[in-house]
A and B are shown apart, each in its own frame.
Chain A
Amino acid sequence: MSVTTETTYSSAADAMPIGTPRHHIIIFAGLLVLLLIAPFVLYPVFIMKILCFALFASALNLLLGFGGLLSFGHAAFFGSASYVTAHAAKVWGLTPEVAILLGTIAAAFLGLVIGALAIRRQGIYFAMVTLAFAQMVFFFALQSPFTGGEDGIQAVPRGDLFGVIPLSNDMTLYFVVLAIVFGGLLAIYRIIHSPFGQVLKAIRDNEPRSISLGYKVNRYKLAVFVMSATLAGMAGSTKALVFQLASLTDVYWTMSGEVVLMTLLGGMGTIFGPFVGAAVIVTMQNYFASFGAWVTILQGTIFVVSVLLFREGIIGVLSRWLKKPL
């Protein structure tokens, strides 16, 4: 069936100049100030959860919103990094920064393997392939001895940062997590606005033309896939230390679906959308946790409503109103 298709990436975001617009600097600065004050007002663990998922969703958005590739298996990177970090911190007794680094490297490596296979198919098949590989990682986590099966790895020690600063205090940990996540978000911003990011957008919008212009499209796709997997892994590793837990939930397909939902709700292809989407979904899960399956129903409903009526997402709509790329 040959119909013209369009994807609603924020059109304002496409007009983004290569330099850094002043309002982006202001928003990043405002966000940082807000996040520095937040733990004194709200429960730090709750905000840390938002932060981890904000990084996770932003990592997916790098791939989906700017590379045009829908991965339905990002839980594989998030979860396996979480397992590796938990194992390194608990069994090997490594310091938290090394544990996070190892988890992130594991996710990058997994991203390289899965990505190299997945980019061989396009569009809808790409989503199915990533989902299937993620399920394979899930079965691996379910069966292999080091993950602790159904129990997961519990009571992961947070340890001492660089061997000197104890992280058992939520407040101390908060600022470490903030540094990691904010660093990750800035890295994504930098990638998007680099020449590499411009080529990515070109491939997303018109792959045949990018090929005819001489770009090695598959290399770009693989590169952005690995970057996205790495950053998702960083989020998963950090999450393992915050909750002192790595479990099957982190690698299950529902997790992959959740992070897609966050990105979609916040606004695919926007800079701040995934952050907002993550904040909304995590808050929702927090308040509706006692309602059991209603959370699933609500998430499904948000999916349906977003796709039917609200494809630009929260930040996408805001961006259109303000006529500024956000």
Chain B
Amino acid sequence: MFELLGIPPQALFGQLLLGLINGSFYALLSLGLAVIFGLLNIINFSHGAQYMMGAFVAWMGLTWLGIPYWGALVIVPLVVGTTGVVIERLMISKLYHLDHLYGLLLTFGLALIIQGLFRNGFGVSGLPYSIPSQLSGGTNLGFMFLPNYRAWVVVASLIVCFGTWFAIERTRLGAYLRAATENPTLVGAFGINVPRMITLTYGFGVALAAFAGVLAAPIYSVNPNMGADLIIVVFAVVVIGGMGSILGAILTGFGLGIVEGLTKVFYPEASSVAIFVIMAIVLLFKPAGLFGRTA
């Protein structure tokens, strides 16, 4: 086998895969943030907490009700998405006439409450969630060993990201959504129930976070803090990509995951700050973000 700059290919591909998996989560989460921001104009700070909720609800379903992984993949986003709908109706909907900052502050408070409740109930040590039997083991690709579950995470994330993009950019419902983003009053005048659309959009964004949480449950240990630091990295991803475009959010998410993985190979000390450094550079040269529209 070849060697690249003295790095054995196993290490290189291993980190690339890891980067791709992190990228899958960045993409799913920043996509949810972008969808919510597009219509509601708020940054959903509780996104990380809702991702954590997804993992926990999957764990509860398996442990208490015996709902298997595949069931959880469908049910958990629905359950957590419903809590999102309730939150939007009871709280966020009261803030639309105010400065966007209040939405950020409110969802930050909600994130603290959710995290605190789960920390109270389950401690911080983390709970195990086993990989479903169909996806255990791995495949030898010749140049590296590919664990099946990790391959599935990347594929599932790609499918959901593409599906969301398709639904928003290529369907009639998506067209309403994009129209409401541009001019909610006018869309309302055409007889479309905009407030309900806003509520469901928030629920959908939250469901995406929960879906990512279920995907993450078998890889990372399920613990109350799993979303807290992740969401800050996702914020940086969103700043780099700009929230103007759905496809932009997806591409930036995957791309930055891979860049981060490569940093781990070539300069491991910098891997945790790589994305923030890229953010600084993007702010210097393209302040609106790679795919953003200038506000």
A residues with CB within 8 A of B: 1-8, 70, 72, 117-118, 120-125, 127-129, 131-133, 135-136, 139-140, 143, 253, 257, 260, 264, 292-297, 299-304, 306-308, 311
Contacts and interface: CB of A to CB of B under 8 A. Distances in A.
> Interface range on chain B: under 10, 10 to 19, 20 to 34, or 35 or more?
35 or more
6 contacts: A5-B97, A8-B98, A117-B284, A132-B239, A143-B272, A300-B110
Contact of A308 (B91, B116, B117, B238): B91
A132 B39 contact: no
A5 B276 contact: no
A126 to B, nearest CB: 9
Contacts of A122: 295
A135 B287 CA distance: 20
B116 A293 contact: yes
Contacts of A292: 119-120
Contacts of B41: 1, 3
B239 A139 contact: no
Contacts, number: 152
Contacts of B91: 304, 308
Contacts of B43: 124, 127-128
Given A139-B273, A296-B112, A303-B105, A132 B94 contact: no
A131 B232 contact: yes
A120 B239 contact: no
A260 B111 CA distance: 15
A122 B104 CA distance: 14
A8 to B, nearest CB: 7
B181 A1 contact: yes
Interface string B178-204: 001111100000000000000000000
B113 interface: yes
8 tightest A-B CB contacts, nearest first: A303-B109, A300-B112, A300-B113, A297-B116, A296-B116, A136-B276, A7-B99, A132-B236
Contacts of A120: 283-284, 287
Contacts of A125: 239, 295
A296 B294 CA distance: 37
A133 B275 CA distance: 10
A5 B117 CA distance: 33
Nearest to A69: B101
B120 A7 contact: no
Given A139-B272, A139-B273, A294-B120, A307 B102 contact: yes
A127 B283 contact: no
Contacts of B111: 300
B98 A6 contact: yes
B106 A5 contact: no
The residue among B94, B113, B277 with the most chain A CB atoms within 10 A of its own CB is B113
B95 interface: yes
B97 A6 contact: yes
The residue among A1, A129, A296, A301 with the most chain B CB atoms within 10 A of its own CB is A1
A40 to B, nearest CB: 36
B176 interface: no
B3 interface: no
Given A122-B295, A127-B104, A143-B269, 15 more contacts: A3-B96, A3-B184, A5-B97, A6-B99, A123-B100, A128-B43, A128-B236, A132-B276, A135-B229, A257-B112, A295-B116, A300-B108, A303-B105, A303-B112, A304-B110
Contacts of A127: 43, 101, 104
A218 to B, nearest CB: 11
Contacts of B287: 120-121
B104 A124 contact: yes
Contacts of A72: 104
Contacts of B106: 303-304, 307-308
A257 B105 CA distance: 9
Interface string B229-260: 10011011011000000000000000000000
Interface string B189-232: 00000000000000000000000000000000000000011001
B119 A293 contact: yes
